Homo-oligomer: A and B are copies of this chain.
Amino acid sequence: MKPKITLKDIARELEVSISTVSKALKNSEEISRDTKDKIQAFAKLYNYKPNNIAVSLKNRRTKNIGVIIPDIVHHFFTTVIRGIEKYANAKGYNVLVCVSNEGYEREVINMELLANGSIDGFIMSLSTETQQKNDYNHIKEVTDQGIPMVMFDRVTDRINCDKVVIDDAQGAFLAVKKFVESGKKKIALITTDDYLSVGKDRTEGYKKALSHYNIPLEESLILKLPSMEVEASAFDTFFKTQEVDAVLCVNEIFAIHAMRLVHGMNKRIPEDISFIGFTDGLLSKFAMPSLTAIAQHGELMGEEAARMLIEKVETENEEETFSTTVLEPTLIERASTL
């Protein structure tokens, strides 16, 4: 209906040259008041806005930042995106979100797509499958091209770039500390397989804390699930065979599920069994009883990642110096602990 108006259109209409229009709209001193007024009025009337694509082509800067996350229906990742958006928008950047859906293939495809000029830099968190395959060539290619990259939460040592993570071991430590201080002795851990970097760190923190408090480590008190999916039977047999008085869960869902199960076994929460879950999301707040949680500070993480990325994007600096920001987790105490 009202096709977009260009510099050329204005120039033709006002019978001046394209460059005059361009300068006038940038309020250049070279142009006379008269013509500037005329051109600016006309531009406003027809609501002229420069074409981003053309500007990008010219500047070799898109003002877009690409975000690759494993899953968008996941509270933690959405809070990170919110943080990224917040900071990026304030700096005049758009956020291009792509979801790998926890798959290697989609991660590669999405990155290749965006890397071909659509974005000025990446912020990403690795998909489960990528971590399993342990194959990071697609990421190496991107960084080798000189495209700035910031990884968050699920990171790898194999790539040299800026990173922002939570001290997951410390989070687990905090949880165990809380349990110990409220008199718990048989502290269980429900987690996933070790290929997830976060799972590994949390397990480590759990073990370290036990040894710190002189509690013998019993491998039978660690339940390792092969994936993020809840396997009811595994939970069932675990709680039927093990005697525990405190449970640390690697995510909310595991914790909620376990609490329900325990509730059905006529045990009291938190008196008989206490619970703490990682990732302070909606479920923790609204669970019955509400769940004591280790907050991951996703929004802060997003802001920090965006800050680091934009810093790199906007400095011509050729020196390759990378840093890793480690955020401290926080224990949010609720009704599932004493």
> Which residues of A are at the interface with B, using a C-beta cutoff of 8 A?
1-4, 47, 49-54, 56-57, 62, 64, 72-75, 78-79, 81-82, 85, 89, 94-99, 106, 109-110, 112-118, 141, 143-146, 253, 256-257, 260, 263, 282-283, 286-288
Contact = CB atoms under 8 A, between A and B. Distances in A.
Given A260-B288, A288-B287, A116 B52 contact: yes
17 contacts: A1-B144, A3-B146, A4-B117, A52-B118, A53-B57, A72-B85, A78-B78, A81-B97, A85-B98, A89-B110, A94-B96, A94-B113, A95-B97, A96-B96, A283-B283, A283-B286, A287-B288
Contacts of A112: 49
A85 B4 CA distance: 27
B47 A141 contact: yes
How many copies of this kind of chain does the complex include?
2
A53 B286 contact: no
Contact of A52 (B51, B106, B109, B117): B117
Nearest to A253: B286
Nearest to A66: B94
A89 to B, nearest CB: 8
A53 to B, nearest CB: 4
Contacts of A253: 286
Given A53-B56, A72-B81, A94-B98, 6 more contacts: A1-B143, A50-B116, A52-B117, A64-B118, A81-B99, A256-B286
Given A2-B144, A141-B47, A288-B288, A85 B99 contact: yes
